[in-house]
């Protein structure tokens, strides 16, 4: 579904994405892990078109999208939930979903879809509460709801479980697996290895901007080279 070829990004002298050639199979859940500062969020911004690469190409759904703007990529079926929140705190959870959906659906379908998402994301009981007052976990699920409102082919999640309890993290994994079962391909940046184990078909490790290792979760946790790059690192 998505391939990058020798993708590079420099910020001044800093080489943040280094020759990344990456391939994402359609229908899979792929997790991207790596120490703080490895370049994971930068790689996402390149995929979404928020940064232009210094060199290299990005192919999405068979087409070279390297020079396309973000909104053109979104129109072609990419969606993202970033590390920083993007909900309207003064509006209710339900209103936030309505806003995310309103340019896509007429009012009849809109209400049905909002209802469906409220149930799917377990937001029913807080539908009328101000989004800014929701717990951290509920805010994250609301954001996922907004990100999937466009029915993307590819959902990019940057640290979807950051700051969550183990129970919320597990629930997020179940949400992601259900979306995948409905046909959505998912690429998630993640630090929580329990989550990675719960959802990932495949795992890539980014280190100093390079793809350092790739495999199943079992192959990655058994890889002593990968363990070595994590030693002495803090992930909060
Ligand atoms: P984390 O796990 O902490 O979220 P990350 O793997 O997402 O880290 P990035 O946010 O991609 O890492 O940052 C990688 C490196 O690039 C860091 O050294 C960061 O300081 C640098 N960097 C990121 N964005 C910019 C920018 N706009 N200008 C200059 N340097 C940047
Ligand atoms: Mg990041």
Encode pLDDT of 37-84 as tens digits: 999 999 999 999 999 999 999 999 999 999 999 989 988 999 887 666
DSSP bridge pairs for 156? 80, 187
The response to whether residue 33 sits with its C-beta less than 6 Å from ligand 1 reads: no
The response to whether residue 39 sits with its C-beta less than 6 Å from ligand 1 reads: yes
Q: What are phi and psi of 52, to 5 degrees?
A: -95, 135
> In whole angstroms, what separates CA 46 from the centre of its chain?
13
**What CA–CA distance (Å, rounded) separates 52 from 169?**
32
User: Which atom of ligand 1 sits closest to the CA of residue 45?
Assistant: 11
**What CA–CA distance (Å, rounded) separates 28 from 186?**
6
Q: Per-residue pLDDT for 103 more than 50? A: yes
Ligand nearest, relative to CA of residue 45:
1
User: Which atom of ligand 1 sits closest to the CA of residue 83?
Assistant: 4
Confidence class of residue 230 from pLDDT cuts 50, 70 and 90? confident
What protein residues have CB closer than 5 angstroms to ion ligand 2? 40-41
Percent of the chain with pLDDT over 70: 95
- Ligand 1 center from residue 40 Cα (angstroms): 8
User: Which atom of ligand 1 sits closest to the CA of residue 191?
Assistant: 2
Confidence class of residue 87 from pLDDT cuts 50, 70 and 90? confident
Full-model pTM: 0.90
Going by alpha carbons, the residue nearest to atom 25 of ligand 1 is: 11
């Amino acid at each position: 579904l998505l391939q990058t070829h020798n993708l590079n990004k420099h910020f001044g002298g800093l080489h943040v994405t280094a020759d990344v050639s990456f391939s994402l199979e359609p229908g899979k859940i792929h997790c991207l892990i790596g120490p703080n500062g490895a370049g994971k969020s930068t790689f996402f911004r390149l995929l979404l078109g928020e940064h232009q690469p210094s060199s290299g190409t990005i192919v999405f759904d068979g087409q070279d999208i390297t020079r396309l703007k973000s909104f053109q990529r979104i129109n072609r079926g990419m969606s993202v939930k970033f590390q920083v929140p993007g909900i309207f705190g003064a509006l209710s959870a339900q209103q936030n979903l309505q806003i995310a959906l309103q340019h896509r659906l007429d009012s009849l379908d809109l209400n049905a879809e909002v209802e469906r998402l409220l149930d799917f994301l377990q937001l029913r009981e807080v539908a009328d509460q101000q989004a800014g007052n929701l717990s951290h976990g509920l805010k994250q699920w609301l954001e996922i709801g907004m990100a999937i409102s466009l029915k993307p082919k590819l959902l990019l999640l940057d640290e979807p479980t950051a700051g969550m309890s183990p129970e919320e993290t597990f629930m997020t994994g179940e949400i992601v697996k259900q979306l995948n079962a409905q046909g959505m391909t998912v690429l998630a940046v993640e630090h929580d290895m329990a989550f990675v184990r719960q959802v990932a078909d495949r795992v890539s490790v980014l280190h100093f901007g390079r793809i350092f290792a790739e495999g199943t979760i079992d192959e990655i946790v058994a890889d002593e080279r990968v363990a070595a790059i994590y030693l002495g690192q803090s992930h909060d």
